[in-house]
Amino acid sequence: MKTDDYQDMNSGGNPPTLSRKEKLRRIYRAIYFILALAGILGLIYDTGINRSYRVIEFLYWVFHLSLVTGIVFIILIYLSRKTRPKRKVWAVDAFLLLFFSFLIIDLLGLSDVEFFSIRIWLNTALVINFIRSLAAIRLDLKGRYLNPARLFILSFLIIIFLGTVLLMLPNATYHGISFLDALFTSTSSVCVTGLIVVDTGEYFTRFGQTIMLVLIQAGGIGIMTFTSYFGFFFKGGSSYQNRLMMQDMNNDEKTAEVFNTLKKIILVTFVIEGVGAALIYTSILSNPSATTGGNVFFSIFHSVSGFCNAGFSTLTQSLYDPAFRYNYPLHLILAFLFIIGGLGFPIVFNTLTYLRYLFIDRLLRRTSNYQPWLIGINTRLVVITTFILLGSSTLLFFSFEYNNTLAEHGFIGKIVTAFFSAATPRTAGFNMVDMSALHFPTTMLILLLMWIGASPASTGGGVKTSTFAIAVLNFVSIAKGKDRIEVFKREISSMSIRRAFAIISLSILVIGTSVMLLVYFDGNKGLLPLAFESFSAFSTVGLSLGITESLSSAGKVVIIFTMFIGRVSMLTILVAFMRRLINLKYKYPTEEILIN
């Protein structure tokens, strides 16, 4: 542990006296952040609002000042040994110095290089400069009012509010949007739900859809993942307190590997989404109605929406659109994207580790050491539960809807559509069939799948597959007369069991309250459609029986709160605002309570 880390933990609440140099550094960091933020706000204004030539000229000077401040800051931090980052950051900062310098030269009209005249490079530089300024800020995460749960909730509230403001910009929509509809869309995007009150493809411009894309990505991975990793990267390190905070937020076992985990999350996300976008692009090349740029944006948007289990689509009828209804390769690509995203990052990392061991170490015989339990119990439980749910629900959907919503497809099409429709309720939200035409047993099956949801530490919602698996194992264990839950020659801890049943109980409480309020405000819509809406919102699925747009203002507010609670989880909210006990070294006598 570094000395600074030890002092941070033992300061006793009394801030140390700052030297004059440190005060100047803090002042300049604040100035740098304000000017970098001004550059981002200017970029948003320049893109989202129709402006005059004089305003454009003023904004370009703001861009100048923002980038110049970034250059000066990078130079200053290297002049002091105390603030100089580690060597692994030097090459990146050197590149940023050159990149910013060439852009400033181009803005001043002193360069004829067309490469730097492309507007996207200026936009990229302003975004990178803002991220660099965030990394320079030293947040005090030790305050009594800021714990990991509160920070997690606050990050979602901030990004939802910013998304609402951005979606209300004139250039984000064709005909304007109300505050409530913008708030609903922003919440649905950040909470990766997919419920919509206005048509995404017809209502929002390409700029508005890009805002939604950024909100989906930030909400799917978590804005704290982005900011924490880049803050760590540009500084070349982090305080022990910050590492403890991120360890708690990401449920990481080892403090030293927290930021390595964040790096892998970001890397795996972008690689999978990139591959998914490329595959989607190849599957829609036969679409004659779209331009190359339109197909590229379509591919990126749906790849991100798929992996993040958001369910948003730029198509009016989602994948039920007549032009894409029979594009089975596209459906399979999206299905595998949201299944991988719904498995959870720990499961993906554990699987990659096992595959690397199996194919490199064992088959190529690079090592003779046998490593037991590379596939952890979490991976085994989640993967087996996922396959059972996928297989059984596909067979049930196929049998229930064979002569109904699947009637228009051939045999292979029926299998693909049944598989997709059985996988998407577990928080993906895309639809390939007419949801309002489903048989009642199919609707009830979808309700159950939505409630179960995806897996822990994933981009999906619901009570999670591991929670459902523990509940099933628990009543099987009780029926067998066992006093504990055993699976794969391991015993499930009592804390895991308690958390699972707390999550189940709280989900019933939240969904029940949501349904009750919706019936009160929009009772004319019918109980089943309203219950379906509540289950979909809580589990961040996005499927609907077609009543979302017609909900009253009060009903929309209920769904907004349901989506938010479902994304951050009611248990996290309770942890955030209830005082945690420190002394638990006592134990009362045990008593049995009559249950059945």
- pLDDT tens for each residue of 511-536: 999 999 999 999 999 999 999 999 99
Percent above pLDDT 90 for the chain? 36
Joined together, the tokens standing for residue 67 give 């980038």
pLDDT above 50 (res 324): yes
The encoded tokens of residue 530 equal 């309203």
Query: In the structure encoding, which two tokens stand for residue 85, read together?
Result: 């980052």
Banded pLDDT at 26 (limits 50, 70, 90): confident
**pLDDT digit string (tens) for 538-584?**
999 989 998 999 999 999 999 999 999 998 888 888 887 877 666 66
With a cut of 50, say whether residue 241 has pLDDT above it: no
Residues 6+ apart with CB under 8 A from 419: 335, 390, 394
The three state secondary structure string of 190-225 is HCCCCCCCCCHHHHECHHHHHHHHHHHHHHHHCHHH
- Provide DSSP, 145-200: T--HHHHHHHHHHHHHHHHHHHHTSGGGBSS---HHHHHHHHHHHHTT----SS-H
pLDDT band at 186 (very low <50, low <70, confident <90, very high): very high
Instruction: Tell me the per-residue pLDDT of 372-426, one tens digit each, with 9 for 90 and over.
Output: 667 888 888 999 999 999 999 999 999 999 999 999 999 999 999 999 999 999 8
